[in-house]
Structure 1
Amino acid sequence: MYKRQEEITVLKDVKVKFYPAGHPVVHVSGREGRLKTDTKDMTINGDVVIRSEAGYTLKTQKLRYDATKRWVDTDLPVELRREGIVIEGVGFSASIDGKTFTVHHDVKAMFR
C-alpha cells in the first residue's frame, strides 16, 4: 500500500540489505515496516532480525533506520548474539557498518 500524500510506503514481510562500504553485508527483516519515501528513513516492526555477514545477529520487536546518519536504533529489549557471547538489554543504537553499537540499559552479557 502506498499513501502518496504522506510520502510513506507500508511494507509487509520486510527484507532489506545494507552494503556498508568496506564492511560485510547487513540483512534486516521484520513483519512490517514504513518507509518514508522522501528521506528513506524506515521503521520495521514485529520479529525484527538484523544479521551481519560479520557473524552477529540482533533480535528485537521494533527498529528505526535513519538513512542520513546510516544509523539504527530501538528503545525496546534486544538480544545480540555472536559466537561465544550473548548480550541482552533494553535500547540499542548502532552505525549500519557495525563499527559502533550501544546497548543502553539493563545490560547482561553471557560468555559461552
Structure 2
Amino acid sequence: MVHLRRGRPLPRERRSDAPVEQAPVLATLTHLLRDAGLGDRQAFSRLYDETCPSLFDLVLRVVRDPSLAEDVVRATYVEVWTHSGRFQETSQSPLSWIIGLGYTRALASRSPI
C-alpha cells in the first residue's frame, strides 16, 4: 500500500465508479484551492484528499514506478501550495490545473531512453 501523508493510502487501481468532476465538485475544489492560496491548511488538506487519487493514478501511468510517482505527487502538491495564486478560475478547472502540474513534473522526471 502506498502512503503519502498522515497514513492515508492511495488507491492502486482506478475505480470505475469514480465521479467525473461535476459542477458542485468543481465549485468546492475552486473554493478549496482559493482558500489554500490564502494559507488555509485545512482547505489544502481537503483539496489534497479530493484530488490526490486522480493525480497519483496519472503520474503512476507516466513514470511506471510507484516510488517515483510518490515523489512527483509530493513535489506537485508543494507547488500547488506555494503557487495556488497562479490558478486562473476562468481558464481551467482546479483538477485540470493540478493534473497539468503533475503531468509536466512526471514527464520531466522520467529518465531519458
TM-score, structure 2 normalization:
0.24
Larger helix fraction of residues: 2
Larger strand fraction of residues: 1
TM-score, structure 1 normalization:
0.25
